[in-house]
Amino acid sequence: MNEINRVNIHDKSYKDLFSNKETFLNLIQSFVSNTWGNKLTKDNLVLVNKSYILSDYEEQESDIVYKANFDGNDVFFYVLLEFQSSVDFRMPIRLLLYMIEIWRDILRNTELKEFKRKTFRLPSIVPIVLYNGKKKWTAAKELKHVISNSDVFGDNILNFKYEFIDINSYEKEELYNKQNISSAIFLLDQNINRIEFYNRLKDIIIGFNNLSIEEKMHLKHWLVNINTEENNFKDNIEKIFNADRQEVLNMTSNISKGLEKLKEDGKIEGKIEGKIQGKTEILIKLLSKKFKSLPDEYIEKIKSLPENIIENIATDIFDIDTIEDLKKYF
């Protein structure tokens, strides 16, 4: 499966998950550190069945939009699912474009008489980015930080700050202590190996007593759809979720032992090394074709790069204008 399809599956699975109002509410109240989250209830949340993703990005990301009523006024929550392999430094600009699209949509459906009233107000839009990448997020979180001379013109410059939820930034114990649907999702979607994944899944099934039957069903559905490459993975998930406590312990123990055995035999390492080597060879061919030829020293440096840097170069390849531009990745 190519990278774009894998990301799309991830985005769609998350979108399905957080399109459930209770799950979205849990996310906001658990991981957004603002007091307004406590004012939200399931009854005043409405899922907006529309995407505002621009055509340039529709193959790379997806979004979720909710509308709520605060003190008689509408407010929109715009959630961008950012599951790319590299940090996008254009994030504040992209969010601005999406927010403008929402306001344009509202104005198109507002009568001119209403629009011209002194009391007319645009609804608030709260931008939220949900990120599960391995790299530390270093993109600006305020619009003014990507506008030149914003420090000179101060309040005359348009600005907003987006809420940022970094799935991999949370400690395991912190997520265990929350014991809710969002923390369970984060625990299973962090950058962990398969053995740790099954250990965490076991702990969630047995120990997260606050999860409702419906939430466990949502969690199972998400897992079955988000993971597509491991042999027997879907069957394992179905069996684990349908088992009693002792069966869960037995099954996860047996799966972990099997994974350990594969690791000892070198099969997992061999597959991983082969996968990385394949990506590296493809990248070298693409760069050689782009620049007609590639110096041997660059080829050797690329071969020594870790997988995440290889993926970053592949993602940025159309923005790399000269061979010298590759130096920033070494």
Exposed e or buried b per residue across 13-34, where buried means at least 16 C-beta atoms within 10 angstroms of its C-beta: bbebbbebbebbbbbbebbbee
What letter does residue 149 receive in the DSSP assignment?
Answer: T
- Are β-strands 62-70 and 45-48 bridged in parallel, bridged antiparallel, or unpaired? antiparallel
pLDDT band at 6 (very low <50, low <70, confident <90, very high): very low
Contact 79, 52 (CB under 8 A): no
Residue 227 — very low, low, confident or very high, per pLDDT cuts 50/70/90?
A: low
% of residues, the chain, pLDDT over 70: 88
Would you say how long the chain is, in residues?
Answer: 330
Question: How crowded is the C-beta side of 269, counted as CA atoms within 13 Å?
Answer: 6
H or E element that contains 124: strand 124-131
Q: Is the pLDDT of residue 8 over 80?
A: no
Question: Rounded to two decimals, what is the model's pTM?
Answer: 0.75
Taking the C-alpha atoms of residue 146 and residue 94, their distance in angstroms, rounded to an integer, is: 11
- Decide if pLDDT at 217 tops 90: yes
Q: What is the mean pLDDT of the chain?
A: 86
Please report, rounded to a whole number, the percentage of residues in the chain having pLDDT higher than 90: 53
Q: What is the pLDDT of residue 290?
A: 83
Beta bridge mates, 124: 75
pLDDT in tens, 9-24: 466 788 889 999 999 9
